[in-house]
Amino acid sequence: MPDYDAIVVGAGNAGSAAAITMASKGLNVLLVDRADPPGAKNLSGGVLWGNDLSQILPKWQSEAPLERFIDNKKIGFLTEKSSITIDFKTKYFDENKVGHTVLRAKFDPWMAKKAKEAGALVIPGITVDSLAIKDRTVIGVQESGDTITANMVLLAEGVNPRLSIEAGLRKPLQDRELSVGVKEIIKLSPQKIEDRFNLSEGSGMASEYILGNLGELNIGAFFYTNKDSISLGIVSPMEELRKNGVTHTYDLIEMFKEHPSIAPLIEGGTVAEYGAHLIPEGGIESVPQLYGNGYMILGDAAGFAFSNGLVLQGMNYAILSGIMAGETAVRAKSMNDYSAKSLSEYEKKLNNTYVLKDLKTFKDIRKVTGNPKMYTVYPQLLEGILLETLWERGQPKKKVRDILSEAAGKMNMSKVKTLTDFYNIYRRM
Amino acid sequence: MMDIKERLGTIKYDVDKEYAHITVDEAICEKCPHHFCVMACPAQCYTLQNGKLMFNYEDCVECGTCSVACDQGSVTWHYPKAGKGVVYKFG
């Protein structure tokens, strides 16, 4: 008889959600994480849309270590000298309070603690060496020469899934499916944060930018408020970094911080922590076979993250995939069937949720987000229109139509290509 | 621009002195046409000194960037053992 019903590798959002789902239904669950405390190696931009948490942790909004709830969302372009943003503030955010900034080294240990309270055995500081596989079935994990066995192994090992890759359960990572996220935590007093960003106690702001101030590079950035700090960073597709080849990733984040619209927002703040993490951005094409005899793949390890240039989400996809895998495991246990056929229920469940639906709906989004003009020509064009219309220079005014055609001429934009771009945005975004 | 050394100084590590979780093959690095690792690594673990690639694993944040950035087969990449390595306070 195996040691456990299920072993979960990785106590991030996906792994802990799965462990809670299974343990609360009486399964004998081992949750291991290579960090001690669990979560201490995890890092993300920091906005958690927690809708799905209510299914497993109904009191999460009052109990979890959350930073600020999002009541103001901004999206924008930065050019060398300008910032053009849409500033969205709505009572809908206030009334629901589902979007929160979090710091993973605080939030993830809380979720792992909830898994323990649900009855899972949580062991931090364990790096699994490899999967134990027998007769084409995953039968457990190997750690320091020992084999720990289970009917099911849930692989929630994160964006760099060494175990899955080494066991041949998914292909090695490639440039096109990854971005490098670089982040800094900047300490600022709650008073300063609330004054600077027009917030009240507990409310927060989340901004995402397309950086048009870095030449040809297609790079995005984020800026979020925590209780007494700012989380800011850049998201650089690996392909872009390779093409560029002359700027260090650790300098790109500084170029964002030094932008004339960003620098004043962090003035007087001190860097409390620097960090970096990969981000899975390969979309549906990067999603591996999600299950097999004795295993399922969850969260970032399965490529479950979503980005369309306006939003960048992963934690919600991780949590929901964890719950779906957990429910599948509970069903498998009730039938005493851990075969691929039984665990195929996991994919069926995901197909009915936003996890796989979103990845399928936006399968061609890279035709928009990968278009270099989104980071060069279009921000400049917008800036040009705003300068001509909003800046009084004592010159005769022009119609928008004329501004556009002049700017297009200056930038050598062909009408057909531009219309094709807008058609792509309209169809795929 | 804040020096990367100073920023790395904000990170807490529990360095495993016995075990380097990443190793590079110097002979391969010597012939590498691009040394993209030097640009890509966010923790400045890869540097060029007089044209020679130098690597240290102590500042590594275990992101995995170099394992993909290196297309020459020089990087052997594992996670650290027993909770060693980066310990984020905020994450």
**CATH 3.50.50.60 correct for A4-67+102-174+283-364:** yes
**CA A124 – CA A100 distance, rounded (Å):** 26
The verdict on residue B48 lying in a domain is yes
A245/B10 CB distance under 8 A? no
Q: Which CATH class is domain A176-280?
A: alpha beta
The verdict on residue B54 lying in a domain is yes
Give the model's pLDDT for residue A43: 96
Per residue in A124-147, pLDDT (tens digit) is: 999 999 999 999 999 999 999 999
Give the model's pLDDT for residue A375: 82
**Could you say which DSSP state residue A228 is in?**
S
Give the model's pLDDT for residue A372: 79
Give the model's pLDDT for residue A422: 76
Sequence ranges of the domains in chain A: 4-67+102-174+283-364, 176-280, 376-428
Q: List chain A residues with CB under 8 Å of B90.
A: 103-106, 185, 229, 231, 272-273, 275
Closest among B61, B89, B87, B65 to B75, alpha carbons compared: B65
A185/B90 CB distance under 8 A? yes
Contact A398, A333 (CB under 8 A): no
CB-count burial class (<10 Å; 0-12, 13-18, 19+) for A264: exposed
DSSP assignment of A316-327, as one string? Answer: HHHHHHHHHHHH
Q: What stretches in chain A show pLDDT beneath 50?
A: none
| Residue of B44, B64, B82 with shortest CB distance to A125 | B82
Contacts of A134 (CB under 8 A, 6+ apart): none
Structure tokens given for A319: 């949590």
Q: What is the CATH number of the domain that holds B51?
A: 3.30.70.20
The verdict on residue B26 lying in a domain is yes
CB-count burial class (<10 Å; 0-12, 13-18, 19+) for B82: middle
Q: List chain B residues with CB under 8 Å of A238.
A: 40, 65, 68-69
Chosen from B6, B16, B62, B65 to mutate, greatest number of chain A CBs within 10 A: B65
Per residue in B32-90, pLDDT (tens digit) is: 999 999 999 999 999 999 989 999 999 999 999 999 999 999 999 999 998 999 999 99
Closest among A105, A101, A111 to A66, alpha carbons compared: A101
**CA A310 – CA A95 distance, rounded (Å):** 23
Q: List chain A residues with CB under 8 Å of B80.
A: 34, 127
Q: List chain A residues with CB under 8 Å of B42.
A: 180, 182, 249-250, 276
Q: How many domains does chain B have?
A: 1
B42/A246 CB distance under 8 A? no
CA of B38: which chain A residue's CA is closest?
A248
Q: Measured between CB atoms, does A251 come within 8 Å of chain B?
A: yes
Give the model's pLDDT for residue A295: 98
Structure tokens given for A333: 């246990």
Least Cα separation, residue A398 to chain B (angstroms): 40
Task: State the ipTM, two decimals.
Answer: 0.97
Contact A150, A2 (CB under 8 A): yes
Q: List chain A residues with CB under 8 Å of B6.
A: 271
For chain A, helix, strand, coil in percent to 5 are 40, 25, 35
In a 3-state reduction of DSSP, which class is residue B57? coil
Closest among A212, A29, A11 to A121, alpha carbons compared: A29
Q: Is the pTM above the cut of 0.80? A: yes
Give the model's pLDDT for residue A355: 94
The verdict on residue B56 lying in a domain is yes
Chosen from A178, A277, A279, A315 to mutate, greatest number of chain B CBs within 10 A: A277
| Residue of A162, A246, A275 with shortest CB distance to B88 | A275
CA of A46: which chain B residue's CA is closest?
B91
Strands A203-211 and A178-187: what pairing? unpaired
Size of interface A-B (CB pairs under 8 A): 137
B42/A242 CB distance under 8 A? no
Structure tokens given for A223: 């800026």
B65/A250 CB distance under 8 A? no
Least Cα separation, residue B41 to chain A (angstroms): 7
Give the model's pLDDT for residue A400: 79
Give the model's pLDDT for residue A69: 96
**CA A48 – CA A54 distance, rounded (Å):** 13
The verdict on residue B89 lying in a domain is no
Q: Measured between CB atoms, does B62 come within 8 Å of chain A?
A: yes
**CA A174 – CA A283 distance, rounded (Å):** 13
Structure tokens given for A267: 């003035």
| Residue of B10, B44, B65 with shortest CB distance to A273 | B10
| Residue of B7, B79, B87 with shortest CB distance to A271 | B7
Task: Report chain B's C-alpha Rg in angstroms.
Answer: 13
Domain region containing B74: 4-84
